[in-house]
Amino acid sequence: KPVEVEELLARVRSLLRLKQSVDERDQIARQREDFVSRLTHDLRTPLVAADRMLDLLLQGALGELSPGMSEAMVTMARSNRNLLAMVNTLLEVYRYEAGRKTLNFSTVDLKEVIEEVVQELDPLATEKGLSLMYKVEENTSNKVVGDRLELHRVVTNLLGNAIKFTDKGSVTVCLSNTDNDQQPEAHWVTMQVQDTGPGISSEDQQNLFKRFRQGSHKRSGSGLGLHLSRTIVDAHQGTIDVKSELNQGSVFTINLPVIEN
């Protein structure tokens, strides 16, 4: 049956309205992302200034502090740095999503990166009475092509979370090689972070790597760290996942393509 002219025009008008609606939605999304990006920049500036000022005060720039004042300053500095870290993470998320993030790829020794992070976070684990252990499987090939700073960020996020949510016991990092199921005759360099924390329900695991979805109230936070970690790992052609049961701890696994010898 031939299509009537009026019917054809109606279809064209409908398609044009649909396209206009999509264009408007995309424009709103871009404006929102630009706003968040500017906002995080504006928030970061005073937070950095406050961090430096608190450091100076703790070093006695205005005179010796009483024990009570010193303790209060330490708490303020810690809270300020936590907020600054959250703002920095939010800024990085939007840089990736807006395609404005430039990665500097080079040969990276993942073993060295993990050793650095373990050394940096060991005082936090010790403060909570946790054992922080690092194990490397014998003859592990640990070189990958990646952005060292971004991989350092991922390892810090995973280890920091494990320490944060574990009240007693241990956090263990293991490095090994495993078969790359995506490429025959290729291998992964695999990092696993295992903790003895409260575990994560299967429902929460489904949302764990989504933006602003941190799971249950027991896992307080913005939910941005794991989302950013997945984004970074994806940009390195790797994989990240979690296996966990309530009251049984969690195991986060990252696989990155290894540089074959």
The pTM of the full predicted model, rounded to 2 decimals, is 0.73
pLDDT of residue 206: 85
Task: Give, in order, the Cα–Cα distances in Å from 184 to each of 63, 90, 181, 187, 214.
Answer: 65, 37, 7, 8, 35
Q: How many Cα atoms sit within 13 Å of 101 on the Cβ side?
A: 20
pLDDT of residue 217: 46
- For 200, the token pair is 């994560």
pLDDT of residue 26: 72
Give domain limits for the chain.
5-97, 106-257
pLDDT in tens, 199-216: 998 888 888 888 755 555
Architecture of the domain whose range is 5-97:
Orthogonal Bundle (1.10)
Angle between helices 5-58 and 67-97 (to 10 degrees): 150
- For 41, the token pair is 């920049």
- For 206, the token pair is 């489904």
Which parts of the chain register pLDDT below 70?
A: 1-3, 28-30, 32-33, 37, 212-223, 261
pLDDT of residue 234: 94
Cα 9 to Cα 220: distance, rounded to the nearest angstrom: 54
pLDDT of residue 213: 57
pLDDT of residue 149: 92
The fold of the 106-257 domain, in CATH, is Heat Shock Protein 90 (3.30.565)
Q: Let me know how long the chain is.
A: 261
Name the one residue in this structure whose structure tokens are 């790797």.
238
pLDDT of residue 27: 74
pLDDT of residue 69: 84
pLDDT of residue 238: 94
